[in-house]
Amino acid sequence: MPINVLEASKIFELRTKNSSYVFGVNENGTLQHLYWGEPVEAAECADLLRLRHHSSFDAEVNREREEYGGWGGTLYAEPCLKVKFQNGVRDLRLRYEGYEVGSRLAADDLIVRLHDEYYRLRVELRYRVIEKYDLIERSVTIVNEEDVPVRIDQVMAAAWSAPAEPSVRLTHVTGRWAGEYQLRRAPLTEGKKVLESRQGFTGAHANPWFALDDGKADELSGNVWFGALGWSGNWKIVLESSTFGQVRVVGGVNDFDGAFTLGPGESYTSPVFTGGFVSGGFGEMSRKLHNYQRDYVLPGSRERKVLYNSWEATEFAVNVREQIELAKQAARIGAERFVVDDGWFGARHSDRAGLGDWQVNPQKFPNGLQELIDEVKRLGMDFGLWVEPESVNPDSELYRNHPDWVYQFPTREGTLLRNQLMLNLGKPEVKAFVLEFMTGLLSTYDIAFIKWDMNRTITEPGAIPLREHAEESVWIKHVDSLYEIWAELRRRFPRVEFETCAGGGSRIDLGMLRFADQAWISDNTDARDRLTIQEGFSYAYSPSVMMCWVTESPHGLNGRRLPLSFRFHSAMLGGLGIGANIARWSEAEIVEANRYVALYKQVRHLVAEGDLYRLASFAEGDVAAWQYVSRDRDEVAVFAFRQAQYFGDTELRLRLQGLEPDGRYRVEMPTGAVAAGVEGTNGNAADEHTDNPAAEAHTGAVWHGSTLMRLGLPLTLAGDYASRFVYLRRHSVT
């Protein structure tokens, strides 16, 4: 049973396939966390409900493990809820009231009700058990049943308590534009570590995901407690290790500059904070999160179309003639979708003007946009378009007509970032404008795909509250409106696919992924840098949404030269796209690219639906390797990369994972893929020999799963920036 309530001892157990999550009601009537980890007998956790006192300075040590702590009394740990009542009282005493399971709710849902001792402020803790993935979704609803308003200073979605190991290590990601999703690991010593965004979107500096372990877990083994918050605006995750050995993670919408009023009868529901426990290391953690996203979070389509995007080829210099040339080449390569990026509208010749004027530019498209769309469709592709609806250039008709639509404070000039200001999406007329122009575009043209960008952070968040005398959070309203717009567009145009983009990967989280089919994770398309960015991304997020483009060599960002093979292999780890100026590519490059695209189409179901195993990382050596295995363990795709070769080491054994030990796996070309020159391509053509061909994953070679997992797949990777793709299929041959 996913939810067990032990009435007599007032203990609740959330039971997943491989974990128990236990809390109960203590003698104060407070909800107290008891245990989270490998399955235990919940009833035997009862003695942990005992109140522990240390001294008059630390009167109730238990409060550090409160399941949802309201600020007041002796709670000095990060609170979940902090309020100010109308009469100035700023002290909460949340007491257990009751619970609800079954009947009205789904079998795996639990609601636990708390209320303040005196004031009619109700708190509903919601739990949903995702049994097969060892995950628990948590959120909270606060209801003001008073006759007067209550100010909410801080309201977190959940607090997670991890067992106090002798030492605790935090894994998280950090980054910046063109360097997103960098993995970091550090001990969590006494005190607080705050991961957060105050930028108005999820942000590249941090992402709302964390993992805790005892410092010894690795890809294959060890207990890992982790969580990911679904909020695409200002968020905060506080990881706190106390002097009493408690580890607590509190997360939700950032309280910074975020107080708001709940009027009489009004309620607030937090975003969902999903937490999980695994005993099989970081690899298992990621696979649980990926499967969860695919089965429960993502809105629909899974298999990514191979797309061509013209941004890096033309930037703002878009014109119909060149776009058609690019489309012809894209079709020859095998692209299935042609996307026109920034620059197609208004007076958008650079980033200085035109943003907000969503009319097709008549100089660039003298016969209208349809001419290009028709050509793209004639070439057998569908059509996609870039938009950035939340921003405006001051040099635009939109701003000239509606200067009051941007966030602003009366006595201040707004900061210009990328020459643009942010629209106040919380204003009903602005929200209506965005919905209207998007609806116009999507119903006028045959558009299959929208790339929704956001190229600046929010500053000077001034907005006149819609309700008089009420404090409102501009930050929350922006995200709520954004979600409502996406939900409405998806409802109106169910066949259109959406990509979330924010100057690269600055708005990807479980909240946005409820609406977006795919995500642009970084403007850094250098295939080597990308491997690090993609690896960090894959800790929390599914490769099925991870868009990766093949672009130019030498790369525009860093001048690095990489072979086409390396660039394709790196981009095939997620949703494959091409972003180079293919009008300038040689015939040989087009032909080679076409082979990779054909190959990708044969294995993309493994990327989208299979299990990912990270076999080797550039963080630990010169080789990085990713492996995808179909859920029935019959098909395997291995991608291996060497960044620099030293001292004649060309051979390696890659220990595969997740195979059937007794199964026999044969190296093949996936059905339908064009063999020549693709399988086993090395980075440097000159090094494409091996001294020991037997020790090589050549077509037809057969090994047992046990050998591949224990001894390893033999591979030759010779030279700098060499890469390999190997496909294996399980056979029933004895």
CB closer to ligand DGJ out of 456 and 601: 456
**Alpha-carbon gap, residue 366 to 302, rounded angstroms:** 36
Question: Could you give the string, one character per residue 308-337, with x where binding to ligand DGJ holds by CB under 6 A and - elsewhere?
Answer: ---x--------------------------
Give the integer Cα–Cα distance in Å for 84 and 545.
Answer: 42
Instruction: Name the segment binding ligand DGJ (CB under 6 A); options: 106-114, 241-249, 389-397, 501-509.
Output: 501-509
The secondary structure of 36-78 as a DSSP string is EES---GGGGGGGGS-----SSS--GGGGGBSSPBSSTT--SP
Closer by beta carbon to ligand DGJ, 78 or else 526: 526
Q: Segment contacting ligand DGJ (CB under 6 A): 9-17, 498-506, 540-548, 676-684?
A: 498-506
| Per-residue binder mask for ligand DGJ (CB under 6 A), 374-403, x = binder | ------------x-----------------
Long-range pairs of 295-301 with CB within 8 A, sequence gap ≥ 24: 295/133, 296/130, 297/230, 297/510, 297/513, 297/514, 298/513, 298/514, 298/516, 298/517, 298/542, 298/544, 298/545, 299/490, 299/514, 299/515, 299/516, 299/517, 300/497, 300/517, 301/497, 301/517
Q: What is the DSSP string of 204-246?
A: SSB-SEEEEE-S---SSSB-EEEEEE--SSSEEEEEEE-TTS-
Question: What Å distances lie between residue 400 and 309, 392, 396, 403, CA to CA?
Answer: 31, 10, 6, 6
Tell me, yes or no, if 523 is annotated catalytic: yes
552 binds ligand DGJ (CB under 6 A): no
Does residue 2 contact residue 14 with C-beta atoms inside 8 Å?
A: yes
As a three-state string, the secondary structure of 368-399 is CCHHHHHHHHHCCCEEEEEECCCEECCCCHHH
Nearer to ligand DGJ, 563 or 574 (CB): 574
- Does 520 bind ligand DGJ (CB under 6 A)? Our answer is yes
Q: Does residue 455 belong to the site contacting ligand DGJ (CB under 6 A)?
A: yes
Q: Residues binding ligand DGJ: what is the number (CB under 6 A)? A: 11
Asked if 318 and 288 count as a contact pair (C-beta separation under 8 A), the reply is no
Q: How far is the CB of 499 from ligand DGJ (least distance, A)?
A: 10
Exactly one of 66, 131, 284, 341 binds ligand DGJ (CB under 6 A); that residue is 341
Q: Residue 175, interface with ligand DGJ (CB under 6 A)?
A: no
Query: Which class for 55: exposed (0-12), middle (13-18), buried (19 or more C-beta within 10 A)?
Result: exposed
Residue with Cβ nearer ligand DGJ (137 or 180)? 180
Q: How far is the CB of 357 from ligand DGJ (least distance, A)?
A: 15
Query: Dihedrals φ, ψ of 696, to 5°?
Result: -150, 140
Q: Which of residues 99-158 bind ligand DGJ (CB under 6 A)?
A: none
357, 523, 611, 720: the active-site residue: 523
Give the strand order in the sheet containing 11-16.
3-6, 11-16, 19-25, 31-37
Residue 412 burial class via C-beta count within 10 angstroms: exposed 0-12, middle 13-18, buried 19 and up? exposed
Q: Is 475 in the site for ligand DGJ (CB under 6 A)?
A: no
**Residue from 70, 334, 503, 563 in contact with ligand DGJ (CB under 6 A):** 503
Query: Is position 529 an interface residue for ligand DGJ (rule: CB under 6 A)?
Result: no
Residue 611 contacts residue 633 (beta carbons within 8 Å): no
Q: Based on the shown chain and the rule CB under 6 A, indicate whether residue 499 belongs to the binding site for ligand DGJ.
A: no
Q: Does 342 bind ligand DGJ (CB under 6 A)?
A: yes
Beta carbons of 43 and 157 less than 8 angstroms apart: no
Tokens in use for 52? 């522990």
Question: Are the C-beta atoms of 620 and 592 separated by less than 8 Å?
Answer: no
Which range of residues in 90-98, 132-140, 296-304, 496-504 is near ligand DGJ by CB under 6 A?
A: 496-504
Residue whose entry in the numeric block shows the structure tokens 């893929």: 673
Q: Taking CB under 6 A as the rule, does residue 344 contact ligand DGJ?
A: no
Tokens for 402, please give them.
């509606």
Non-local CB neighbours of 7 within 8 Å, separated by 6+ positions: none
Identify whether the C-beta of residue 213 lies closer than 8 Å to the C-beta of residue 171: yes
Nearer to ligand DGJ, 393 or 650 (CB): 393
Q: Interface with ligand DGJ by CB under 6 A: which range of 167-175, 231-239, 425-433, 497-505? A: 497-505
Smallest separation (angstroms) from ligand DGJ to the CB of 176: 13
Q: How far is the CB of 386 from ligand DGJ (least distance, A)?
A: 5
Near ligand DGJ in 625-654, by CB under 6 A: none
Please state the closest distance from residue 311 (CB atom) to ligand DGJ, in A. Answer: 5
Whether 662 sits among the annotated catalytic residues: the reply is no
Q: Give CA–CA dist 69/23, Å, rounded.
A: 13
Select from 523, 552, 635, 668 the one that contacts ligand DGJ (CB under 6 A): 523
Q: Which one, 48 or 501, has the nearer CB to ligand DGJ?
A: 501
Residue identified by tokens 């180079």 is: 580
Residue nearest ligand DGJ by beta-carbon distance: 342
Closest CB 647 distance from ligand DGJ, rounded Å: 40
Min separation Cβ 312 and ligand DGJ, Å: 8
Contact status: 453 vs ligand DGJ (CB under 6 A): yes
- Taking CB under 6 A as the rule, does residue 452 contact ligand DGJ? no
Residue pair 419/456 in contact (Cβ under 8 Å)? The answer is: no
- Choose which of 320, 434, 501, 667 interacts with ligand DGJ (CB under 6 A): 501
Catalytic residue, candidates 453, 517, 526, 529: 453
**Residues contributing to the site for ligand DGJ (CB under 6 A):** 311, 341-342, 386, 453, 455, 501, 503-504, 520, 523
Catalytic residue ranges: 453, 523
